[in-house]
Structure 1
Amino acid sequence: MRVACIINPRAGRRPHPESVIAELRRAAARRGWELRTVTTHGPGEATEIARSLVPGNDIIIAAGGDGTVHEVSAALIGTQVALAVIPCGSGNGFARSFRIPLDPLRAIDSLIGSEQITVDAGTVEGRHFFATAGIGLDAEISRRFAAGYHRRGIWPYFRHGFAAWVAYCPQKVTIQSRSISLVAEPLVVAVANTEQYGGGAKIAPGASPSDGLLNITIVEDGSFLRLLITFLRLFTGSLDRSPLVRQMTATEFTIHRQEPGPYHADGEPFYGPPVLHFSVVPRALRLLVPGRTHRG
């Protein structure tokens, strides 16, 4: 079995990359894998590295945060190469969604008894995403968080979130699909393939990455108290019970905005046109997940 690992040394958490590499080499030796490791040096580089490693490898491991997973996964769409994840980021939403141990060394150990599954992907304006995408406040938070690259972690994310909420002004949008046509002035429109953003914040409770559907969560604006209660529901898995929240599913739809603006894909910020096109790609990615005895 030929395995490559792409490591992001600037991911939000430790252990040191050398510790990850050493433990991974021990795991590879136990399983008889032929292992190669590559370190990234800048944003976007992991996709090109992964693309170059597809020929000649059976598994490519993303060792980093959700951004690293996003970049590596984009290169594996539609290939026979499986993705594995060693979570080293701040939120690790992708790893949480598939019960991959959040401790990097335990995640490496779980690779020994892993199982392969096939999961969907979403697309927005030709970009793939595997957990969540969207517009509104969460896109603005992603933009601010990315700009503050020197201060990673969950608490800076909350700080950026509060500052973004104070400054954010909701815009009117129209969401259209074969079965949906609605107009709203939402605080957030989240498009989810999995349940959560990261850090245990479930924006789409019950979303499945293997049902061929995208889950749309619309969060309306409200008073500070109502928004605070809604925010807390993110962490109890009960967001769908908030009176400020509407949820629906679709395989393909568009969001019409009044003007160009930011959006995010797996927490990575982008700037897009007034009309954004979303769709699902069923069974797009092969993924290694822990066997029953190693699940986080």
Structure 2
Amino acid sequence: MVMPIPTRKAVLWNAHAGSITHARELEQQLRENSEIGLYSTASGRTLDQLIEQAFADGFQCFIAAGGDGTASTVAGRVYAHQQSFPDPEFSLGILPLGSGNDFARTLNSPLEPLAAWEAIEQGSLIDCDLLQLEADGQSRVALNMFTAGNTGKYLENLTEEIKARWGPLCYLRGVVDVVANLQVYEGQIEIDGQKIEGESWLNLFVANGRYSGGGQEVAANATPLDGTLNLLAIADGPPTELVSLPASYFRGEVPEHPLIHTSRGKSVTINSQEPWPCTTDGESFKASLIHIRVIERALKIIQPQPQSLPSGASSSAITSGAEMSQHTGKTISSHP
């Protein structure tokens, strides 16, 4: 049964998102639409304050208009509100206006604002998983991706000025800067309670969606519909083994390699003596004890129905859990 999308929508508009200057025409259209409540951070209010106001105004469908950080924040608040108030049912849509827009890519959303909005209007509601993180005692929810190691490190060096100037290319710029000076992070990694081999790591991804860093596919089989998370961990090793890794890795490929571990499960735990630099959906922090679990069917999300697909996207919607059951995760032992 296809669930209809509510006509009334609250649009949470991040006026500081990386690609916001390309969305002025859409912004004006939304302001003129009587079915739309446009809540913009340009008012001086925080995103959290705007979300609370939208709930108070009686909206049940919330559109996160911004980047991955905006989408993750709105998803977390909608999920929390749904837990406290299970009736009526709330829903979430993603309008990609950021620098990376990685979860929108997983949804096969167009990245041009007007086309993305049309795809939302023509879309349908589906059940979506979330990631629940406990990092040094602090709880947070992620929609798309948790990263740690060098991948988290380069985001620390990206100023808002660089993001605004380079737009979607800013992540590539950060990657190029950090690859020449990779740092090794010591720690133990477990998936579903089972320790994986190795204690010296370069990068780690826990994926609900497929993409990270502005469209780099790091988990081709990841889907937010199947009740599992995907782990990709890259171990340290001698230069002779590392020399071929960055080029293929940053092309979005996951080659069979003795330093790469991939698997699928319900939870991942990282335990280290020193804090690792981490990100969740583009927001950076540091932590040494991290537990991540999948929250199955956490909320209703709008699956956009684009008139034409974005460059490089699949011709079908995101893979369903039934389709994913045909695949099995592979584990490649690491030898640091």
State TM-score, norm by structure 2.
Answer: 0.77
| CA distance in structure 2 between the aligned counterparts of 1:156 and 1:239, rounded to whole angstroms | 22
For 1:36, the equivalent position in structure 2 comes to 37
Structure 1 residue 251: Cα displacement: 0.9
For 1:87, the equivalent position in structure 2 comes to 96
| CA distance in structure 2 between the aligned counterparts of 1:107 and 1:154, rounded to whole angstroms | 16
Q: Does 1:53 align with 2:60?
A: no
| CA distance in structure 2 between the aligned counterparts of 1:263 and 1:269, rounded to whole angstroms | 6
Contact preservation (8 Å) 2:268, 2:293 = yes
| CA distance in structure 2 between the aligned counterparts of 1:90 and 1:267, rounded to whole angstroms | 10
For 1:101, the equivalent position in structure 2 comes to 110
Instruction: Decide which moves more: 72-81 or 221-230.
Output: 221-230
Contact preservation (8 Å) 1:116, 1:289 = yes
| CA distance in structure 2 between the aligned counterparts of 1:228 and 1:83, rounded to whole angstroms | 36
* 1:204-243 equivalent positions in 2, closer than 5 A: 204-221=219-236, 223=239, 225-234=243-252, 238-243=253-258
For 1:245, the equivalent position in structure 2 comes to 260
Instruction: Decide which moves more: 194-203 or 123-132.
Output: 194-203
Q: Deviations over 1:103-156 (max 9, x none)?
A: 1110111222110111100022121111100210111122222xx111212333
Q: Does 1:256 align with 2:291?
A: no
| CA distance in structure 2 between the aligned counterparts of 1:229 and 1:198, rounded to whole angstroms | 15
For 1:122, the equivalent position in structure 2 comes to 131
| CA distance in structure 1 between the aligned counterparts of 2:261 and 2:66, rounded to whole angstroms | 33
Contact preservation (8 Å) 2:99, 2:170 = no
For 1:75, the equivalent position in structure 2 comes to 77
Counterpart of 1:12 in 2: which secondary structure?
coil
For 1:257, give the aligned amino acid.
Answer: S
Structure 1 residue 246: Cα displacement: 1.4
| Consecutive unaligned residues in structure 1, runs of 5 or more | none
For 2:67, the equivalent position in structure 1 comes to 65
Corresponding residue to 1:186 among 192, 196, 201: 201
Counterpart of 1:141 in 2: which secondary structure?
helix
Judged with a 3 Å threshold, the aligned counterparts in structure 2 of structure 1 residues 143 and 232 are, in CA distance, closer, same or farther, namely closer
Counterpart of 1:77 in 2: which secondary structure?
helix
The count of corresponding residues between Structure 1 and Structure 2 is 285
Q: Give the share of equivalent positions with the same residue, in percent.
A: 28
Judged with a 3 Å threshold, the aligned counterparts in structure 2 of structure 1 residues 21 and 178 are, in CA distance, closer, same or farther, namely closer
| CA distance in structure 1 between the aligned counterparts of 2:221 and 2:68, rounded to whole angstroms | 20
| CA distance in structure 1 between the aligned counterparts of 2:95 and 2:177, rounded to whole angstroms | 31
For 2:62, give the aligned amino acid.
Answer: I
For 1:7, the equivalent position in structure 2 comes to 13
For 1:160, the equivalent position in structure 2 comes to 174
Q: Deviations over 1:11-39 (max 9, x none)?
A: 1114455322223356x5xxxx6211111
| CA distance in structure 2 between the aligned counterparts of 1:165 and 1:191, rounded to whole angstroms | 20
Counterpart of 1:10 in 2: which secondary structure?
coil
Contact preservation (8 Å) 2:148, 2:205 = yes
Corresponding residue to 1:22 among 28, 36, 59: 28
Contact preservation (8 Å) 1:114, 1:291 = yes
Contact preservation (8 Å) 1:171, 1:258 = no
State TM-score, norm by structure 1.
Answer: 0.87
Judged with a 3 Å threshold, the aligned counterparts in structure 2 of structure 1 residues 291 and 160 are, in CA distance, closer, same or farther, namely closer
